[in-house]
Chain A
Amino acid sequence: MLGDALVAFLSSRRAHDDARIDAWRFELATADRVRIGMRGGELGGPYGAPSAASRLGGSVELRWSDGRTTRATLTRESLGCSPTQMAAWRAEAIEVEHRATVAPPAECPIVQMYDARVAEAVHGSPDRLLDLVSGLGAGLLALGTERPDVAVVAGAGRRRVVTSAGFDLAWEETTFGLDASAEDLYAASFATRRHPSDGEIEQLADDVAETVRLLRRAESPPIGASGVLFDPTVVDALLARFFATNLNGRSIERGASRFSPDDVARQAVVMRPDLYLTIDTTLPFELATSPCSGEGVPGGRVALVAGGRLMTPILNCEQAARMGLAPTPVARGRPSLILASSAPPLDRDAALAQLHDGVLVRGLMGLHTQPARRGDVASVAAGAQVVRGGRLAGRTDVLLRFNVFDLLGSEGTAPVRFPASITPGRLAETGVEVRSA
């Protein structure tokens, strides 16, 4: 089994110099991945050559009897478990105070993260994926687009998390990403752990073709437009930038977060009372899904914010022990945070009608440079889509200014359900300054 030799090696309580390994944990994964791409309607090429990757690696933490700790990556070479490797690990040890023990055995949820069809596409002939990319590219051309870009990335592998305290869990996992765009105007994606159905692929192509058709025409934003509909990918990016950063337990403890330890203790109001912010690693076939974290924290669904109140920071084992709270599950991909509302979401068309005149925003440039603690955003939404009279129209570049925390604390926003998205978008009728860029 994957990692057995390493388990045996570490379990033997090996010594080096005057110290021996008292406790340890590791995460080890093996994965194969295939990527096929088309750029501007042309398959492959030197920059987009079809590619295959094979990897074996992970991370290890060793706690030595003299109070030192080693944290290192696992590679094919280090898995040889040689005396030289032990010396190398020992040489990288430093004194670190630990308040948490390595994870003991725990019950982890059974989650869906393996699709045999994806594994077959990865390990078998590349023809299936080549056909998918060629077919989708041809389909986009047939739907009237020019210069289509298509990329598929499929991966399959095994992962194992083990600790010296008896936690030991192994599983198989797959990933599947399909991106389609055309004319550098609009891109749509399917990114999960399962193969898309034929219907989902058709839906993706139709979405790209219809949106590109509208976006070919450059327009000015409607005069006086002040409302914005944020696409789910933008909402996810805003949550990752502004909430994941500020909800990090270590940042809160050392005063580097917008939120303080006192905010945590008194469950401070941080959003509107109908809003819930959760980590959920049990969603079927989502990239976030996993039975446990690399430390052995069981997966699950945890509310970081419930009814608008701060319930818990994001905590690894060590930080959880420092703050006297339970560690939180770790999402391994999107959606890393989910913003939900007790109010029913609007359908996208209803949201467009309610917005009437405004813009649909699908991306914000330089979001990673915006001040996370303050929550201010002043950014260009290039390639946004005009909404005029409740209907989608042409493309426009707008400069947006708003404060994320103010938006989520105000009554002027509402959740919006988008087709083919597990996370909602958000309609902001007030609180966003829109200016032609």
Chain B
Amino acid sequence: MRVARFDAAVAAGLDAARRQRLFAILRFQDRRERRLLAADGAVDRAVSTTSVGVGVHALTTDGWAGFASTDDCAPSAVARAVERAGALARAAGVRGALANRAVFGLPDEGSRTVPHDYARLHDVSIQHQTDALLAAHEAARALPDAPSVRTTHVLVDEQWRVARSDGTDVSFATPRARARHALTVRRAARPVSASASISGADVSALAATDRLAALDRRTRHALRGALDTHDAPSIAPGSYRVALDYALAKGLAHEAIGHLCESDVDTSPFFRDGRLALGDEIGAFGVSVIDGPVRGDYAFQDVSANGMARGNVALVERGVLVGGLADLFSAEAAGIPLSGACRAGSFRERPVPRMTNVRIVVAGALPLAGSADAVEPEDAADALRRAGLLGRDGGEDGAPFLYLTGYRGGQADPRRGDFVLSAAAAYDLGDGGAPRRAPTLSGLAGRVLRAVRAGVGPLQLDAAGSCGKDGRAVSSSGGSHALLVLDAGPDLIVGGAP
């Protein structure tokens, strides 16, 4: 791995820490990225980005912390960064800074390189990537309605090395790739926009036949949704029965559940007196929420930014809060086991607990005919009707039942517990699948899982995006069943649109 070249810098940094009587965590990052953009038939832009550097967390024996980062990875520069971090820690310590001595209980986990088989960026020529980009791009341009298309194609070859004063020294990779179409069709002199994407670990995820077919399917679905709903009537704000597609369900899992289970957010509604309220019933029976790395996934990371292994963690099991995303510094205070959950997007950041791939799983999922990643409203209605959730058997014939599809993003305030999600398209299945203007959903994070009624179709876990916790971006992904059905209730408001 490229980060193997930092051997001398690791030694110099740890040696400086020893001399200064500090415990150091050194985080080296070597990130190479190539971003291509095609617009209306031609490659418009290619940008190659390189970011190399080290972030140093230094803790005094009193547990005072300091942090320094530099893009100079020469041994002497890394040693200086350790000294600077130590000086900051002591300067804050004499003013009564918060102390945390968790690092002093860490075991020496030895030196290891986590194997990861993916195509390195230097093995993927720009021509190869361009060919893959243009193939997908031309397919989108050939769609009915002749949309104007911008296609971005991003490959990130990222490697980390985390070395600690206890002797642990672990190298690992967090590669990712994503292709995304942004389409525009003009209707009545106004632009109508849609987007669709596929993602994975490397260029193979963007060029394989089945992946290109998935992108084509998602693109057609998104474009149809945008054209169906752009001039459709608004939904009056209120509580409705809803079926969310897997991408919106990922947004719900991420914003309304996952963030509230992170051990550094000790004032979230899932905490009592600073500890995660394990055992509380927060969801309907049969509903589980799990977070953890999925190999080949856009947000894959199986080693934490502090050098610990990371696996799957059940946050909610059959409606009961059973776990949290905990890192070294706040697991004990939150009363949950350390799960190696901290991540950082850059060596310049102090890591915090973050999700990787988060998903809502419902026991006894109902069957679905057709693709799980692009459920058309007719298929959704059919599946719900067969399950007795829609129509006469559902007992509310004619009452609104909204199918919301396409995730435009969301935001949560874990401390207050409220969240907002935006859908790209909506259909009222209670009104024969009539299109509705794309709405916003808002609600109270702590209670929304109680409304989950059913999961429909297989799990689809590749809804990829970016998490912006504390203003720092890391890749995120996840999903749920093809459809997640929620009953109407006061904790989920479909906010409509003007």
**Does A pair with B?**
yes
- Chain A residues with Cβ below 8 Å from B68 are 51-54
Q: Are B57 and A49 in contact (CB under 8 A)?
A: yes
A96-B497 contact in complex given A44-B92, A44-B97, A380-B420, C-beta closer than 8 Å:
no
Q: Are B350 and A76 in contact (CB under 8 A)?
A: no
- Secondary structure at the A interface, as helix, strand, loop or mixed, is mixed
Q: Are B422 and A370 in contact (CB under 8 A)?
A: yes
Task: Give the CA-CA distance A437 to B492 in the complex, in Å.
Answer: 10
Q: Are A36 and B92 in contact (CB under 8 A)?
A: yes
Q: Render B47-74 as a binary contact track against A, CB cut-off 8 A, 1 for contact.
A: 1111111000101000011111111100
Q: Are B126 and A76 in contact (CB under 8 A)?
A: no
- Chain A residues with Cβ below 8 Å from B19 are none
Task: Give the CA-CA distance A258 to B191 in the complex, in Å.
Answer: 6
- Chain A residues with Cβ below 8 Å from B106 are none
| Selected contact of B415 from candidates A71, A97, A184, CB within 8 Å | A184
Task: Give the CA-CA distance A42 to B96 in the complex, in Å.
Answer: 8
- Chain B residues with Cβ below 8 Å from A44 are 64-66, 89, 92-93, 97-98
B352 within 8 A of A: yes
Task: Give the CA-CA distance A378 to B496 in the complex, in Å.
Answer: 7
Q: Are A369 and B440 in contact (CB under 8 A)?
A: yes
How far, in Å, is A146 (CB) from chain B's closest CB?
12
How far, in Å, is A252 (CB) from chain B's closest CB?
10
Task: Give the CA-CA distance A421 to B44 in the complex, in Å.
Answer: 39
Q: Are B495 and A401 in contact (CB under 8 A)?
A: yes
Q: Render A400-423 as a binary contact track against B, CB cut-off 8 A, 1 for contact.
A: 011100100000000000000000
A435 within 8 A of B: yes
A373 within 8 A of B: yes
Q: Count of B residues near A, CB < 8 Å?
A: 86
A382-B193 contact in complex given A47-B264, A50-B92, C-beta closer than 8 Å:
no
| Selected contact of B48 from candidates A46, A71, A399, A435, CB within 8 Å | A71
| Selected contact of A369 from candidates B44, B51, B418, B420, CB within 8 Å | B420
How far, in Å, is B59 (CB) from chain A's closest CB?
7
A237 within 8 A of B: no
Q: Which of A363-391 contact B (CB under 8 A)?
A: 365-366, 368-371, 373-374, 376-380, 382-383
- The residue on A at minimum CB distance from B94 is A130
Q: Render B32-53 as a binary contact track against A, CB cut-off 8 A, 1 for contact.
A: 0010100110111111111111
The CB with the most chain B CB atoms within 10 A, among A126, A184, A260, is that of A126
- Chain A residues with Cβ below 8 Å from B95 are 43, 130, 134
Q: Are B47 and A380 in contact (CB under 8 A)?
A: no
- Chain B residues with Cβ below 8 Å from A125 are 91
| Selected contact of B88 from candidates A42, A51, A402, CB within 8 Å | A51
- Chain B residues with Cβ below 8 Å from A379 are 420, 440, 442, 495
Q: Are B39 and A130 in contact (CB under 8 A)?
A: no
A45-B65 contact in complex given A365-B413, A401-B498, C-beta closer than 8 Å:
yes
A255-B65 contact in complex given A91-B125, A130-B91, C-beta closer than 8 Å:
no
- Chain A residues with Cβ below 8 Å from B148 are 254-256
A141 within 8 A of B: no
Q: Are A56 and B71 in contact (CB under 8 A)?
A: yes
- The residue on A at minimum CB distance from B47 is A71
Q: Are B98 and A369 in contact (CB under 8 A)?
A: no
Q: Render B108-146 as a binary contact track against A, CB cut-off 8 A, 1 for contact.
A: 000000000000000001100010000000000000000
A18 within 8 A of B: no
A347 within 8 A of B: no
**A contact residues, range:** 35 or more
How far, in Å, is B69 (CB) from chain A's closest CB?
5
Task: Give the CA-CA distance A184 to B85 in the complex, in Å.
Answer: 29
- The residue on A at minimum CB distance from B44 is A96
- The residue on A at minimum CB distance from B353 is A47
A78 within 8 A of B: yes
A433 within 8 A of B: yes
Q: Are A51 and B409 in contact (CB under 8 A)?
A: no
Q: Are B350 and A47 in contact (CB under 8 A)?
A: yes
A107 within 8 A of B: no
Q: Render A117-136 as a binary contact track against B, CB cut-off 8 A, 1 for contact.
A: 00000000111001000100
Task: Give the CA-CA distance A371 to B496 in the complex, in Å.
Answer: 13
Q: Are B48 and A92 in contact (CB under 8 A)?
A: yes
Q: Are A53 and B69 in contact (CB under 8 A)?
A: yes
A101 within 8 A of B: no
- The residue on B at minimum CB distance from A431 is B498
| Selected contact of B100 from candidates A46, A53, A373, CB within 8 Å | A46
Q: Are B47 and A72 in contact (CB under 8 A)?
A: yes
Q: Render B478-498 as a binary contact track against A, CB cut-off 8 A, 1 for contact.
A: 000000000000000101111
| Selected contact of A49 from candidates B65, B328, B408, B440, CB within 8 Å | B65
- Chain A residues with Cβ below 8 Å from B409 are 366, 368-369
Q: Which of B297-354 contact A (CB under 8 A)?
A: 328-330, 348, 350, 352
- Chain B residues with Cβ below 8 Å from A71 are 45-48
Q: Are A51 and B98 in contact (CB under 8 A)?
A: no
- The residue on A at minimum CB distance from B49 is A73
The CB with the most chain A CB atoms within 10 A, among B71, B96, B267, is that of B71
Q: Are B65 and A52 in contact (CB under 8 A)?
A: no
Task: Give the CA-CA distance A237 to B181 in the complex, in Å.
Answer: 25
How far, in Å, is A94 (CB) from chain B's closest CB?
5
- Chain B residues with Cβ below 8 Å from A130 are 91-92, 95
B371 within 8 A of A: no
Task: Give the CA-CA distance A91 to B92 in the complex, in Å.
Answer: 47
- Chain B residues with Cβ below 8 Å from A95 are 43
Q: Are A43 and B191 in contact (CB under 8 A)?
A: no
A290 within 8 A of B: no
B404 within 8 A of A: no
How far, in Å, is B71 (CB) from chain A's closest CB?
5
Q: Are B50 and A72 in contact (CB under 8 A)?
A: yes
- Chain B residues with Cβ below 8 Å from A260 are 189
Task: Give the CA-CA distance A322 to B341 in the complex, in Å.
Answer: 48
- Chain B residues with Cβ below 8 Å from A54 are 68-72, 81
A55 within 8 A of B: yes
Q: Are A73 and B420 in contact (CB under 8 A)?
A: no
Task: Give the CA-CA distance A380 to B493 in the complex, in Å.
Answer: 10
A57 within 8 A of B: yes
B477 within 8 A of A: no
- Chain A residues with Cβ below 8 Å from B239 are none
- The residue on A at minimum CB distance from B77 is A54
How far, in Å, is B463 (CB) from chain A's closest CB?
14
Task: Give the CA-CA distance A305 to B390 in the complex, in Å.
Answer: 50
Task: Give the CA-CA distance A366 to B413 in the complex, in Å.
Answer: 11
- Chain A residues with Cβ below 8 Å from B102 are 46
B167 within 8 A of A: no
A257 within 8 A of B: yes
A401-B92 contact in complex given A45-B98, A45-B100, A72-B49, C-beta closer than 8 Å:
no
- Chain A residues with Cβ below 8 Å from B418 are 365, 380, 382, 397, 437
B168 within 8 A of A: no
Q: Are A76 and B72 in contact (CB under 8 A)?
A: yes
A75-B50 contact in complex given A45-B100, A49-B350, A55-B70, C-beta closer than 8 Å:
yes
B22 within 8 A of A: no
Sample (11) of A-B pairs whose CB atoms are under 8 Å apart:
A44-B66, A46-B100, A49-B57, A49-B88, A91-B126, A127-B91, A369-B408, A370-B422, A376-B498, A378-B498, A382-B418
Q: Other than A45-B65, A52-B88, A92-B34, give 13 A-B pairs with Cβ distance below 8 A.
A: A42-B98, A48-B98, A49-B67, A49-B89, A50-B67, A55-B71, A72-B49, A125-B91, A257-B191, A368-B409, A368-B411, A380-B418, A402-B498
Pairs A-B, 8 closest by C-beta atoms: A44-B97, A369-B422, A45-B98, A366-B420, A369-B409, A49-B65, A51-B67, A46-B329
